[in-house]
């Protein structure tokens, strides 16, 4: 099987740097310029007024268009995460209660814990067209950590040895999984096998490549 590139490529890293710099520097500057020219145009007339309105429009477009594209990307990741988790929900395998799942569209991540069946589902939208779907039972992870609002789960998967997500429920999840270690759980099929059975459907529905590390 072809190896999955889960880390950012050099191109993706520099693109992220450019986006971050643009948001940090260019957006505030262009916003100020656009607003300034707009109010200048209100107090002028004739060709000068038209020029100022045009400059204001260009400056504000430099803010709205990139921000709109970034928001579109966030919504696209949210759609993928929601579709995958909806496809895998089942009262016999995975149905997390309120407060035991977290969508983080900015990072393209989802983590959910089913306290009734002892199953954990992690979905990571790595990049466009590539998604990790990781199904864990209580025997598939080794340790857990909480650091403020960051929750970490260490797995037995060499390809993905650590899962990390930010959630306001980090401490609650840490405590709950600790209590769950002393219970016995069973599902009709192993949870990973159940998820594997849905992989083809998810790939066809969303036109993505789904990787399930083992």
Q: List, for residues 31-76, the tens digit of each pLDDT value.
A: 999 999 888 888 777 677 788 888 999 999 999 998 888 888 889 8
What domains does the chain contain, in order, with CATH numbers?
Answer: 10-76 (no CATH), 89-211 (2.30.29.30)
pLDDT tens-digit map of 174-192: 999 999 999 999 999 999 9
CB 62 within 8 A of CB 47: no
CB 130 within 8 A of CB 209: yes
In the predicted model, is pLDDT for residue 214 greater than 60?
yes
More confident residue, 7 or 72: 72
pLDDT of residue 1: 45
pLDDT of residue 73: 85
Least confidently predicted of 8-12, 70-74, 76-80: 8-12
Q: To the nearest whole percent, how much of the chain has pLDDT over 70? A: 97
In the predicted model, is pLDDT for residue 2 greater than 60?
no
pLDDT of residue 39: 87
CA separation for the pair 204, 36 (Å, rounded): 50
pLDDT of residue 67: 87
Q: Which residues are within 8 A (CB) of 163 and not within 5 positions of it... i.e. 6 or more apart?
A: 111, 122, 134, 152, 153, 154, 155
pLDDT tens-digit map of 93-145: 999 999 999 999 888 999 999 999 999 999 999 988 899 999 999 999 999 99
Q: Is 210 helix (H, G, I), strand (E, B) or coil?
A: strand
CB 182 within 8 A of CB 175: no
pLDDT of residue 183: 92
pLDDT of residue 3: 61
Number of Cβ within 10 Å of residue 30's Cβ equals: 19
Structure confidence at residue 167 as a pLDDT band (50, 70, 90) = very high
CB 121 within 8 A of CB 107: no
Q: Is the pTM of this model over 0.85?
A: no
pLDDT of residue 136: 96
- For 90, which DSSP code? B
Sheet holding 209-211, edge to edge: 101-104, 109-114, 119-127, 130-136, 209-211
Q: Is 44 helix (H, G, I), strand (E, B) or coil?
A: coil
């Amino acid at each position: 099987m072809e190896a999955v590139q889960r880390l950012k490529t050099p191109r993706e890293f520099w693109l992220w740097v450019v986006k971050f710099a643009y948001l940090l520097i260019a957006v505030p500057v262009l916003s100020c310029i656009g607003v300034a020219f707009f109010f200048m145009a209100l107090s002028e007339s004739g060709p000068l007024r038209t020029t100022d309105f045009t400059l204001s429009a260009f400056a504000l477009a430099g803010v709205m268009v990139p921000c709109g594209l970034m928001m579109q990307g966030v919504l696209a990741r949210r759609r993928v995460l929601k579709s995958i988790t909806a496809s895998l929900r089942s009262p016999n395998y995975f149905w997390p209660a309120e407060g035991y799942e977290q969508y983080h569209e900015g990072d393209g991540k989802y983590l959910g814990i089913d306290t009734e069946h002892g199953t954990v589902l992690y979905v990571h939208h790595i990049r466009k067209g590539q998604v990790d779907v990781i199904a864990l039972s209580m025997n598939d992870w080794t340790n857990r950590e909480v650091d403020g609002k960051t929750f970490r789960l260490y797995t037995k998967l060499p390809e993905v040895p650590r899962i990390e997500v930010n959630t306001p429920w980090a401490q609650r999840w840490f405590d709950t999984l600790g209590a769950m270690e002393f219970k016995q759980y069973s599902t009709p099929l192993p949870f990973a096998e159940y998820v594997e059975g849905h992989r083809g459907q998810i790939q066809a529905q969303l036109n993505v490549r789904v990787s399930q590390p083992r």
